[in-house]
Amino acid sequence: MTDQGWPTPVVRERTFVFSGGTTMKKLLVGCGLVTALVMAALVAGVVWLASSSTVDGVVVGVEGPVAVTEGEEYTLVLTIRNESGREQRLVDLDIADSYLDGVVLQSSEPPFSSSQHVPVDRSVSHSYDRSIPAGGTLSIRLQALALRPGDFAGDFDLCINHSYACLPHHVRTVIRPAGPVPRAPETVATPPPAEAGAGM
């Protein structure tokens, strides 16, 4: 009883015990392992992507005009030099959509066997499957047509030996607008000068 005659309050302490302590520990260990595996996979993926974009002993070059006029045909020459001691193969040539937005390919020499759009890569893939002997060179001549004015650029990915081992080469072509067709100068007919003394 308190001094005022009220009953003394009783405070009961409650102790909460988590009965699944072992399960919780297993869950935490499992999450840690999953996180470690995901991180390892990401690192491996980065390493794989880095290694897949290089091909030992292969040198790529692209030649073409920097600027053309709308409606003009022009040529791009792709040179693949095999400086390794073994045969290499050009499997595919992938051309970025951003370049093809203003350009249409009219022909290729040697010709590609097929082509398809690859939405995930935002490019058009052209299949060649051409051999490049050790110490040899393969040249591809692309005949292109400038469709519309603008600044068009994108990667030309040359895939060597595998469709995932590609060497990117950035290509840019500025297409100038075609000028107006020149008109023939206008002529104004003027009467011949009156003869001196006429009408007198």
Q: What is the DSSP string of 136-172?
A: -EEEEEEEEEE-SSEEEEEEEEEEESSTT-EEEEEEE
- Among 73, 164, 76, CA closest to 118: 164
Question: How many C-beta atoms lie closer than 10 Å to residue 135's C-beta?
Answer: 12
The pLDDT assigned to 24 comes to: 52
Percentage above 90 pLDDT, the chain: 56
ω before 110 within 30° of 0 (cis)? yes
What average pLDDT does range 51-60 have in this prediction?
68
Question: How many C-beta atoms lie closer than 10 Å to residue 97's C-beta?
Answer: 14
Query: 77-129: per-residue pLDDT in tens?
Result: 999 999 988 999 999 999 999 999 999 999 999 999 999 999 998 999 999 99
What average pLDDT does range 191-197 have in this prediction?
61
Q: What is the DSSP string of 162-185?
A: STT-EEEEEEEEEEEPPPPPPPPP
Question: Where residue 10 falls among pLDDT bands split at 50, 70, 90?
Answer: very low
CATH code 2.60.40.10 for 58-176 = yes
Taking the C-alpha atoms of residue 83 and residue 133, their distance in angstroms, rounded to an integer, is 9
What average pLDDT does range 3-22 have in this prediction?
47
The pLDDT assigned to 108 comes to: 96
Residue 3 CB burial class (10 angstroms; 0-12, 13-18, ≥19): exposed
pLDDT at 70 exceeding the cut of 90 = yes
CB distance 154 to 99 below 8 Å: yes
